[in-house]
Every structure is written in C-alpha cells, then in structure tokens.
Structure 1
Amino acid sequence: MIFRQLQDPESRTYTYILGDVEAKEAVLIDSVSEQTERDFKLLQELGLRLKLILETHVHADHITGAWKLRQQTGANIALSKLSCIDMADQLLDDGETIYIGAIPVKTIATPGHTKSCMSFLFDNKVLTGDTLLIRAAGRCDFQEGSAEQLYDSITNKLFSLPDSTLVYPAHDYRGFTCSTIGEEKRFNQRIGGGKSKEKFIETMNNLNLAYPKKMDVAVPANLRCGSTDTL
C-alpha cells in the first residue's frame, strides 16, 4: 500500500493518495484545482493509475480538481449521495466498501459540517474531512450544517473506532498532520473530554467565523465537481 499526504499552501487543504502497488490503482481524496499537475505527476512517478477521485464533502474554501483529473485520467468522481450532485459518477451510501486494488475503503456518513460529509476508513486510518479536525471540529453555519448532527457523527461514529485509529483531516491551520481517535477523545477542544451535546452546540453556534474567502466561487463550482465551464 502507498499512502501520501499532500497540502495546498493557500487553503491548507490536505489531499491524500491511497494506492495498491500490485494492482497499480489509486484513489485521490480531496483534490485542489491548482494542485492537479502536482498530483498527476506524483501518481505517474509512483506507477499508479488513478481509478477514483473521492470528496469528503462539497468544499467552500477551494475548487476541487476532480473535474480536471477526470478529464485527464478518465477516473470516476465519487462522493456522498446526500450531495445530490448529478455530475458525479458515483453517489455513495453510508457503509459501502470501495476497493482500490485489494484495499477496502469503507464509507462512513458523518454529516454536520455539511449535510453530505463522509469519512473514509482503511488500514487503521480514517480520513475525516472537516468533520473531525485535529483538536477541533468543522464549522456548522452554512451548507445545511448542524452542530447537533456533527456531535452525533463524531461521538457515535468516529469515536466508536479503536483509539489507535489514525485521524487524517481535510485541513489543518496549526501545523499538525495527523492525530488518533484516542487523542481527540481526550484533548479535542470542542468535543473531547466527554463534553456534553448541549455545550458542544453552544460552542459551535458561537464561533462567529468569517465566511471562506472563495465560498461564492468554490461552492457553485464544487456542486459541478469542480467544473467552471458554465460559471
């Protein structure tokens, strides 16, 4: 198995490559439009054919590179069926298993940051998108977000995984690259330490964050899998 974590320096988005060396197949998760050439070159260097482009959710801070990569490689685009994106090739249900070569990747619906958030579990690693961040959790104030749903997604689904499970989020703004479920249960400032749902909802509803700078451009494009042809 090949596993790589890459970052876009502007949006601080983490992009992930998971590949099966023997099958020479790969999946790329949470691509960024400006980084598609970097990602494609790395796949070539690693001898991997891009089979699938996954999105953890419809991002608001960058335009996905999914559309560019599909045109370049022929790979399918997949994300949660709750995104209702008809330009995707696959719309995923909770609890599905996707195979990259012989590597099983399980889908876990984790709504709350947005209604269509999905996490991906494989090989004692979970890619949590913006649902569970390192020592934080994704904001809930747009794209049909819900602090109540987010609390349930994290505590009932992600925190039910073994404590040793490695957590790889879609973003980090403080220099962290990964964590574990056990660490986040103990130290996460928004939901760790047994924080009640009521306290979590109060915290999340009072973050008073500025909207992402690219939101008005990124969301419409990402609802079209990153295509800007008609925007």
Structure 2
Amino acid sequence: MIFRQLFEPETSTYSYLLGCERSRRAVLIDPVASEVDGYIQLLQALNLKLIYTLETHVHADHITGAGLLRNTLGSKSIVHRDAGAMCADLLVTDGVLLQVGELEFAVLHTPGHTAGCVSYAMADRVFTGDALLIGGSGRTDFQQGDAGQLYDSITGKLFILPPDTLVYPGHDYQGNTVSTIKQEMVKNARLGGGKSRDEFIATMQDLKLAYPKFIDQALPANQSCGLAAE
C-alpha cells in the first residue's frame, strides 16, 4: 500500500492519499481545494489514478477539493447520505464496503460532530475525520452537533476496534500525526479513562468555543462539492 499523510497548515487539516501498488488506483480522504495542484503532482509522481475522494463530513473549516479533482481527473466524490452534499457521486451509509484495487474501506457512521460524519476503517487503521481527534474530539455546538451522539459514536463504533488500530484524525493542532484506539481509550482528555456519557456532555457544553472562522464560506461551498453553486 502507498500511503501519504498530507497537511494543510492554515486550517491544520490532514488529508490522506492511499494507493494500491498493484492496480495503481488511489483515494484521497478529505482533500482541501487549495492543495489540489499538489495532489495532482503527487499522483503523477507516484503513477496513481485517483478513483475516489472520501469525505468524512461536510467541513466547516476548509473547502473540499473534491469537485476540482472530479473535474480535472474524473474521480468520484463520496459522502454520507446525511451530510447535505447531494452533489456527490456516491452517497454511502453505515457498513458500506469500498474497494479500490486491493484496498478496502468500511464506512462507519460516526455522527455527533455533524449528522453526516463517517470514519473509514481499514484492517489496521481508521480515518476518524472530526469525530475522534488525538487527545480530544470534534466540537458539537453547530451543524447538527450532538455531544451525546458523538460519545455513542466514538465508544460504540471506534472504541470497539482492535486496540492497536492506528487512528488518523482530520485535524491536529499540536503536531501529533497518529494515535491508536488503545491510547485514546486510556488517555483521551474528553472521553478516555472510562468517562461517562454525562461527563462528556458536560465537558462539551463548557467549551465555549469561538465561531468557526471559515464556516460561512466553507459550508455552502462544500454542499456543492467545493464548487460554486450553479
């Protein structure tokens, strides 16, 4: 497997390129519009054909590159059916299996940060978007957020994965790149160490976070796959 973890510094967003060495087919998880030229150069350098862009949710902090990549490379955009992005080529639900060459991804519906959040699980790793972060979690105070639902998603869908499963989040603001399910179950400040659902909800209610800087531009753009609405 070919694997690259890519970082967009303005919004501290991680995107992920995964390619099948045999078929040379690839996917990009959570591509950022401003980075599209770099993705295309990387795909060319690695001799990979982009088949899918996989969105973990409709983002409020950056504009997706899915539409630009579809127009340029012919890739297909994938989001959850509840994400609010009917522009996508494939609307998935919980339990769907996506096959790209020898790569297989299981779609796990992990709502709570937004209604349409998903994580993409492979045999040894999971891409958790803004649901489970390293040492934390996504916020739940806008965009159909629900703290109790997020707790249920993380504990019921992610914390049941094998303990040594690698956790690759959608963001990190401290320079962390990867964790494990075991580490998050033990050390996660918001819900590790056996914290209860009520404790998590209380923690999230007390955060008092600032209004998302780019939400007014990002949400409508991402509901059109990153392209201006026709």
TM-score, structure 1 as length reference: 0.98
Task: Verify: 1:114 aligned to 2:106, yes or no.
Answer: no
1:197-225, Cα deviation, whole Å (9 max, x unpaired): 00100001111111221110000000111
User: Which secondary structure state, in structure 2, belongs to the residue aligned with residue 160 of structure 1?
Assistant: coil
Task: Verify: 1:74 aligned to 2:89, yes or no.
Answer: no
User: Which secondary structure state, in structure 1, belongs to the residue aligned with residue 82 of structure 2?
Assistant: helix
1:82-135, Cα deviation, whole Å (9 max, x unpaired): 114221100001001000112111100000000000000113100000000000
Q: Quick check: 80-89 or 134-143, which moved more?
A: 80-89
Total equivalences in the alignment: 230
Which 4+ residue blocks in structure 1 deviate beyond 6 angstroms? none
Hey, what does 1:100 align to over in structure 2?
A: 100
Question: How far did 1:229 drift?
Answer: 4.8
Report 1:216-227 matches (<5 A).
Answer: 216-227=216-227
1:216, 1:27 → 2: CA distance? 28
Report 1:20-35 matches (<5 A).
Answer: 20-35=20-35
Task: Verify: 1:148 aligned to 2:148, yes or no.
Answer: yes
User: Which secondary structure state, in structure 2, belongs to the residue aligned with residue 217 of structure 1?
Assistant: helix
Amino acid at match of 2:205: N
Contact (CA 8 Å) 2:85, 2:222: kept in 1 or not?
A: no
1:9, 1:210 → 2: CA distance? 19
Q: Quick check: 221-230 or 155-164, which moved more?
A: 221-230
Amino acid at match of 1:140: T
User: Which secondary structure state, in structure 2, belongs to the residue aligned with residue 83 of structure 1?
Assistant: coil
Question: How far did 1:159 drift?
Answer: 0.2
Unaligned runs of 5+ in 2: none
Indicate the percent of aligned positions where both proteins have the same amino acid. Answer: 51
Contact (CA 8 Å) 2:58, 2:84: kept in 1 or not?
A: no
Hey, what does 2:86 align to over in structure 1?
A: 86
**What is the CA RMSD across the aligned residues, in angstroms?**
0.8
Report 1:1-231 matches (<5 A).
Answer: 1-230=1-230
2:90, 2:8 → 1: CA distance? 25
Unaligned runs of 5+ in 1: none
Amino acid at match of 1:228: A
Amino acid at match of 2:99: Y
1:11-43, Cα deviation, whole Å (9 max, x unpaired): 010000111011010000001110000111101
2:32, 2:85 → 1: CA distance? 18
1:40, 1:224 → 2: CA distance? 21
Question: How far did 1:191 drift?
Answer: 0.5
